[in-house]
Amino acid sequence: MKVLLSAYSCEPGRGSERGVGWNVACEVAKRHQVWVLTRPDESKDAIEAELAANPIPNLHFVYFTLPFWQDSMRFGHSGAIQIHYYLWQIQAYFVARQLHQEIGFDVTHHVTFVKYSAPSLLSFLPVPFIWGPVGGGESAPFPFWKDFSLNARIYELTRDLVRNIGQRDPLVGLTIRNSSVVRATTDDTARRLHRMGATEVQIIPEVGLLDAEIADLNQSPLSVSQPIRFISMGRLLHWKGYHLGIQAFAKADLPDAEYWLVGEGPELDALQNLAQYCGVANQVKFWGRLPREETLKRLAQSHVLVHPSLHDSGGWVCIEAMASGRPVICLDLGGPAIQVTEHTGFKISAQSPEQVIGDLAVAMQKLTHDPNLRIKMGKAGRQRVDKNFSWKVVGECLDKLYEDTVKAQ
């Protein structure tokens, strides 16, 4: 088939949104002719260098950006990027319409950004359209706001306002109605899409790992060594919930254990002060931002991933941890709630900060005192990633989805 992908972010060798765009395109191109709409300012040089070194005959890139706004990253903040993305989607329709007249696509697919409250105008082409998986419908439960700073509360309120405006955007409504298939990353986003008029929504995680990455992570030994090390990885943001992890670690009262945090962000000072206040500053180590290779090395030196995120559409670190054989302690919210099972870790319900801290502490104690449980969960995690979260598996599922979607028209 001839497939048109919309990948606002797309770059080889990267994770998160950029990695999704690139890896989906490569997997689909193993079976079909693929054209990818993306931006030149972010990743063109990297894409062209990779294709020169490793050609993919079925993969074609179409680069364009707003003529009056050449670089979406120049303003450096989320609001500017979101505005650029919205306008870029409008421009994408006219580029795609011209391409369709020349090529005649069988199916179109919106891949990145994963944002349910912004439209994808590829849905206006007269061919089957697959939207997503899209995310962004997750919210931090209100009882947890009491621990947020003023700036954090302003962020959450602004985020809610922008989403509510987006939910009422006629173009978003048309995107839903014109979609042959609507896919969401989480239950929260699926519920919002249903309220907005979607009749059927598939819940599909957006995350994936290359077979080579899974093989490398599988090399991490299932360690029973001491001291027990818990690790959190990601930007130090209020909604990542690391303040809950530190308080739970202190409450667990594990004098021989360590808690490592890898990442940087605006919450660093507050988290360091919290560790001092809780009396565990000598056991909590802040590594700062590390290159990916170094980050995964720290993961291999640890025993358990702690990921208490309050709203997370993806949760890539949970997949990486499971692939490396590390149990995951997360909240039963967002993307991690879809990825992690009772066999691969502990999913903590999120009713209140006090309840979460207590339940996180109990999970930490169990995994500290029961090395066999760590190994059992670690093996189950590896099996789950192999079966569900390799890009090869994602590609096979997309192939079936495209065929079924086209046949249903």
Q: Is a pLDDT exceeding 70 seen at residue 72?
A: no
Q: From CA 371, how far away is CA 225, in angstroms rounded?
A: 9
For residue range 165-220, what is the model confidence (pLDDT) as tens digits? 999 999 999 999 999 999 999 999 999 999 999 988 999 887 888 888 888 888 88
Same domain, 9 and 134: yes
195 or 14, higher pLDDT: 195
260 or 132, higher pLDDT: 260
For residue range 306-364, what is the model confidence (pLDDT) as tens digits? 999 999 887 789 999 999 999 999 999 988 999 999 999 999 999 999 999 999 999 99
Same domain, 399 and 282: no
**Partners of 210 in beta bridges:** none
Same domain, 246 and 256: yes
Most confident of 9-13, 343-347, 391-395: 343-347
Q: From CA 365, how far away is CA 354, in angstroms rounded?
A: 17
Same domain, 372 and 357: yes
For residue range 152-166, what is the model confidence (pLDDT) as tens digits? 999 999 989 989 999
130 CA to centre of own chain = 19
* Pairing mode, strands 129-134 and 33-38: unpaired
Same domain, 222 and 347: yes
The count of structural domains within the chain is 2
Mean pLDDT of 66-78: 59
Mean pLDDT over each residue of the chain, to the nearest integer: 90
**DSSP letter for each residue of 282-308:** TTEEEEES--HHHHHHHHHT-SEEEE-
Q: From CA 192, how far away is CA 136, in angstroms rounded?
A: 10
Of 88, 5, 83, nearest in space to 39 by CA: 88
pLDDT at residue 312 in the model: 86
Same domain, 217 and 182: no
Mean pLDDT of 33-49: 90
Same domain, 184 and 222: no
pLDDT at residue 80 in the model: 74
Q: From CA 243, how far away is CA 60, in angstroms rounded?
A: 45
Confidence of residue 79 (pLDDT cuts 50, 70, 90): low
Same domain, 89 and 186: yes
pLDDT at residue 315 in the model: 76
Q: From CA 335, how far away is CA 184, in angstroms rounded?
A: 10
Same domain, 9 and 96: yes
Q: What is the model's pTM?
A: 0.88
Segments forming the whole domain that contains residue 121 = 2-208+390-408
Same domain, 235 and 370: yes
For residue range 265-321, what is the model confidence (pLDDT) as tens digits? 999 999 999 999 999 999 999 999 998 889 989 999 999 999 999 998 877 899 999
Same domain, 170 and 215: no
pLDDT at residue 351 in the model: 95
Q: Is a pLDDT exceeding 90 seen at residue 263?
A: yes
**Which CATH number fits the domain that encloses residue 310?**
3.40.50.2000
Same domain, 151 and 80: yes
